[in-house]
Amino acid sequence: MDAVADRRRAVRPVLVASPSRSHRQIRRFTRARSAVAAAGAVYLMSQLLLNAAVRTGVEPADDPAYAEKFALLARRPAFFAPDPGRVTVLALGSSRTHASLDAGRFAAGVGPNVEAFNFGTPAGGPLTNALYLRRLLAAGVRPGRVIVEIHPGYLTPADPPFETRWLRPHRLRAGEPAVVRGLGCDVPNTPHLGWRGWAAASFEFRVGLTNVYAPRLLPAGLPLGQKNDAFGHAPGPAADPAKRPKALAATRAQYAPVLADYHVGGPGCAAVRDILATCRLTNLPAALLVSAEDSDVRGWYGPVGNAELAAFVRATADEFGVPVFDGRDWLADADFFDGHHAGPPAAAKFSDRLAAAAGAWVRGAP
């Protein structure tokens, strides 16, 4: 039996790898490895280019609200090259200012040789505007006057500050987290400013990219693409008495976190003072503009809250020696479509009222 088994083993075929087959496998592996390496290189290069585009302002994925407004301001050369015979006025604020101040009409109402620009942005509270003023100055903007909005809803000691619902970390640029922290507002990690911003830019700027290119996918995004005129003004929807109750209820629900126990204080107040300090440091005459609200909204703050607000405005104005234009009651309740955003006719009324109140200050008259 052993001999038979030996003969069978002797004739059993031996499988020998084909040289050509082995070479094909090596070539396929080499090509796959090269493809993966090439894809990785392309991805990394795309992330590097995207981050560079964001940092240089080519792609406004970090803060599209600012980029949209700055693109309009960049077309107004008078704000970059001051002319002794011309006065420029820059208004900083939220969507309230954005909707209520017709800067072109305001300038015409003040008089000749006056140019104004409305830099109000959606949800642009004092923290946001403190950063925006720094960016504008760094970009070479040199306005002759600065109007600073006072928005009561952003001047509370709420923790976290109400404004941070929209001022998210990805909107901050290099050096800005330290500014915000210095104003008393905690800032979460900002990985987009580090190596992750270079290696994974599409992920770190995903919110801003979505806000720009697919805003419907971002329920809490900032409204972009509004029909601003050449001077930065975009009126709100026309007031509709039939829709007002529902719109007013939505406004109250939005501000519920600060209305539950309204008091004045916190990072928002520090940011207003920071803006005025920056203006004083750069020799920019500034003024405070208390934003317009209907009687219902003004009543939500309560007697104590309204008294604290008035005291803060008065004390801040005295400290920095700036005028105050209190526009809270300049418009009738019927002028608002939601209690705090003015429609087109109301914007004209508000702008004319501000031109009458601030005209002497703008012209530099004693």
Distance CA 263, CA 305 (A): 5
- Partner residues linked to 19 by β-bridges: none
Q: Are 343 and 337 in contact (CB under 8 A)?
A: yes
Of 221, 358, 201, the C-alpha closest to 285 is 358
Closest Cα to residue 229, out of 59, 73, 354, 67?
Answer: 73
| pLDDT value for 62 | 73
**CB hemisphere CA count around 232 (13 angstroms):** 34
> CB under 8 Å to 7, separation ≥6 — which residues?
none
Where is 135: in which H helix or E strand?
Answer: helix 126-138
pLDDT for res 211: 67
Considering only the top CATH level, what class is 60-187+228-363? Answer: alpha beta
Q: Which pLDDT value is given to residue 84? A: 87
Residues of the chain with pLDDT under 70: 1-21, 43-45, 47, 50-61, 191, 193, 195-226, 365-366
Token pair for residue 173? 């640029």
The domain spans of the chain are 60-187+228-363
Structural contact between residues 324 and 317, judged by C-beta atoms closer than 8 angstroms:
yes
| Alpha-carbon dihedral 286, 134, 269, 172, rounded to 10 degrees | 160
Q: Which residues contact 257 (CB under 8 A, 6 or more apart)?
A: 158, 162
Give 7's DSSP letter.
Answer: H
The model's pTM: 0.84
The pLDDT of residue 213 is 64
Strands 87-92 and 286-290 turn out to be: unpaired
Residue found by looking up tokens 């209190």 in the block: 326
Rounded to an integer, what distance in angstroms lies between the CA atom of residue 161 and that of residue 268?
A: 8
Give the C-alpha distances (Å, rounded to integers) separating 180 from 166, 175, 264, 274: 14, 9, 18, 11
Q: Starting at the earlier edge strand, list the strands of the sheet with 286-290.
A: 114-118, 87-92, 145-150, 286-290, 324-326
